Amino acid sequence: MFISFTFLVLTPLLITIFMSYSVFTADLASKTKVQIESSTLYAATEINKYYEDLYRVTISIMVDKTLWESMKRRDTIPSEREFEWNDNENKIKSALSEYKYTRNELTEIGILKETGELFHSMVVNEYNPHSVFLNQERILQSEWYQDFQTQHRIKATYPYENGLLFLNRINNPDQFTEPFGVLIYELDDSLFDQLFQIQTKKLDKLSVYVFNEQGKLIYQRGSGEIQPDKLAGIRTSGTKNLTENGKTYMVVSRYVGDPDWTYLEVVPYDVIWEDANKLRNYSILLVMISYVCGLAITFLLSKQVVRPLRKLMMAMKQLGTGTTNITLEAKGPFEVREIAHRFNVMNRQIGELIAGIVEEQRKAKEADLAALQAQIHPHFLYNTLNLIVHLARKKNTEAIRTLTVSLIELLQNSLKSARLMTTIAGELMMIQHYVMLHQYRSERKIDLFISADPDLLGVRLPKFILQPLVENAIFHGFYPTEDGGTIVINIFRRDKHCILKVVDDGVGFRRQGNESPEGIGLTNVTQRIQHFYPNSNAGLQIYSRPGFGTAIEISIPCAVLEQEGNDHEIRAYRR
């Protein structure tokens, strides 16, 4: 029952949970993708706006006549006029600082001429120890400057310590076709913090990468679980999945045409699915708790309902096999107790009905046996009285007296008990009286020899079971001839059967197929054996040969014999 409960209840719930989880995670991934795409678009727009702002600053610098006049004048001031030179230098720094202050993330602005002269906005009271403009030679020998010059770039972005350098090649405003130098913006990292307003919930798990036009990383924030070189080759806008160290990541890229940057946001799928996984785990936990509660309820129901019903089913099976002495204990809910009570009532009624049927069958069987035995009595009495009439005609009074005494003995033995059974000893004693009666009737000599196992004399069997066999031997075996004959009765055991065998040396007969001698006697004996020993190997066999005699054998299974032993009949027979 628990297996059925698990299959019918737990399995559909788990299937529903995992299907819902699959749909939910797919929907969550789709929404996260849309959210991150929106975030990257926003960041790209902000980068583009900032670049446009820098471009406007650059234009402002290019058209600032005061600044350009001050830079030209530097070359005309003699070295001995130090005060004038410093005043001019401060004017240059002041002019550049005004542009620097337009953006908070602009730390310094500098102009490096083609001749190697450097102009910058850094003043003494705003000394920046990390500024690139502290050392002119360092700028000229730096990799980023060498790359900018050798690659003849017009504009470029390079990472520098805790900031960013934005380089833009400029021409002389007086002679626009004549190269003047490189305008350098020194930017702080706060630039990206102001530009990128990440919209995702898991900022600590989200990684941001910005690559410049050369594919070099210029900014990174977040966990950084993926190495930058794995992402440097992405130069287009789109979404792709990337697997690193057994984890799958969603990579959303956005290409920014100006200033030719690529902005990427990377988030692990397990972060995207974190809420879904929690919901799945909570759901599974809830299902397992419900399952345990369901098992407990099922166990209680099984104990209160199913087990009593199972006992009822077993009791009904036993009742079907014929066992009626069954009583169910009424336990459990009212309905179960009522079913058990009704079953006990039904079982009792069935038992009473079966007992009544058995009793009726027993009485019917006794009535049938009594009717069969009643057929013997008139038949035997007819033959005996016929013999007495014969002796009376011969006026043999002594013989009549002896014959009458024997007949009385027979009748007393037959009628002294209402039961239909007798013992082998009682049956043999009646046979002796019966043969004595025939000795007087006929002048033929009839010899009777009896051989019986003493242990079988008390075995009970139907009355008058041997008498018809002896009667047939006398009337059908000896009377057709002038001579008498011999009757031999043997009673013995054969395996598990008790054998009663009657043999005569009369005329015999020839059987045709299964045909048996005509007469009430043998037919009656066969019917009584079938009635008294049903469903057994009990039966009657006839062996006969014309001119040699007849042997009739009755076989009774010893297993069904009631061996009570009537001592009075045994003693009377032995006398």
Ranges 79-93, 229-243, 317-331, 372-386: which has the least confidence: 372-386
Range of the domain at 492: 358-574
Asked if pLDDT for residue 282 goes beyond 60, the answer is yes
Round to whole Å and give the CA distance between 137 and 39: 41
Q: What CATH number does the domain containing 483 carry?
A: 3.30.565.10
Asked if pLDDT for residue 238 goes beyond 50, the answer is yes
Order the strands of the 238-244 sheet from edge to edge: 217-221, 207-211, 261-268, 247-256, 238-244
Which pLDDT score, from 0 to 100, does residue 38 have?
Answer: 85
Contact (Cβ atoms closer than 8 angstroms) between residue 258 and residue 193:
no
Beta pairing class for 179-188 and 106-113:
antiparallel
Region 158-168: mean pLDDT is 88
At 8-35, the pLDDT tens digits run: 666 776 677 667 767 767 777 788 788 8
Question: Which of the pair, 443 or 214, is modelled with greater confidence?
Answer: 214
Domain-located, residue 509: yes
At 501-555, the pLDDT tens digits run: 999 998 887 765 445 554 567 887 888 888 778 777 888 999 988 888 999 999 9
151's tokens: 């690659």
Domain-located, residue 379: yes
At 373-428, the pLDDT tens digits run: 554 456 556 666 776 776 677 666 776 777 777 777 666 665 554 466 788 888 88
Nearest partner of 475 among 525, 438, 437, judged by Cα: 438
Q: Decide: helix, strand or coil at residue 215.
A: coil
Round to whole Å and give the CA distance between 406 and 400: 10
Question: Which of the pair, 95 or 379, is modelled with greater confidence?
Answer: 95
Asked if pLDDT for residue 197 goes beyond 70, the answer is no
Asked if pLDDT for residue 560 goes beyond 50, the answer is no
Peptide bond before residue 308 is cis, with ω within 30 degrees of 0: no
Nearest partner of 312 among 328, 333, 335, judged by Cα: 328
State residue 453 phi and psi, 5-degree precision.
Answer: -65, 120
Which pLDDT score, from 0 to 100, does residue 184 have?
Answer: 94
- The average confidence (pLDDT) of the chain is 79
Q: How far apart are the first and last CA of the chain?
A: 76
Q: Which residues of 553-567 are buried (b: 16+ CB within 10 A; e: fewer)?
A: bbbbebeebeeebbe
Q: Which amino acid is at 162?
A: N
One-character DSSP codes across 246-293: TEEEEEEEEEETTTTEEEEEEEEHHHHTHHHHHHHHHHHHHHHHHHHH
Round to whole Å and give the CA distance between 291 and 289: 5
Round to whole Å and give the CA distance between 324 and 352: 9
Domain-located, residue 3: no
Q: Decide: helix, strand or coil at residue 15.
A: helix
Question: Which of the pair, 561 or 280, is modelled with greater confidence?
Answer: 280
476's tokens: 């059908």
Q: Which residue in the block uniquely carries the two structure tokens 């065998």? A: 501
Q: Decide: helix, strand or coil at residue 560.
A: helix
Compute CA 108 distance to the chain's CA centroid, rounded to the nearest angstrom: 75
What total of structural domains would you count in the chain? 1
Which pLDDT score, from 0 to 100, does residue 563 have?
Answer: 45
Q: CA separation (Å) from 5 to 296, 297, 399? A: 11, 11, 94
Q: Which amino acid is at 302?
A: S
Which pLDDT score, from 0 to 100, does residue 146 have?
Answer: 93
Domain-located, residue 496: yes
Asked if pLDDT for residue 500 goes beyond 60, the answer is yes
Asked if pLDDT for residue 83 goes beyond 70, the answer is yes
Round to whole Å and give the CA distance between 247 and 265: 16
363's tokens: 């009485």
Name the H helices within 416-515: 424-441, 467-472
Round to whole Å and give the CA distance between 142 and 156: 14
Identify the band that residue 298 occupies on the pLDDT scale cut at 50, 70 and 90: confident
Ranges 82-91, 307-316, 343-352, 409-418: which has the least confidence: 409-418
What count of other Cβ atoms lies within 10 Å of the Cβ of residue 67? Answer: 22
Q: Which amino acid is at 443?
A: E
Identify the band that residue 79 occupies on the pLDDT scale cut at 50, 70 and 90: confident
Q: Sign of dihedral through CA atoms 12, 14, 17, 22? A: negative
Which pLDDT score, from 0 to 100, does residue 565 have?
Answer: 45
Which pLDDT score, from 0 to 100, does residue 202 have?
Answer: 47
Q: Which amino acid is at 76?
A: T
Peptide bond before residue 534 is cis, with ω within 30 degrees of 0: no
Region 260-278: mean pLDDT is 81
Which pLDDT score, from 0 to 100, does residue 413 have?
Answer: 61
Half-sphere exposure of 190 (CA within 13 A, CB side): 6
Round to whole Å and give the CA distance between 548 and 150: 147
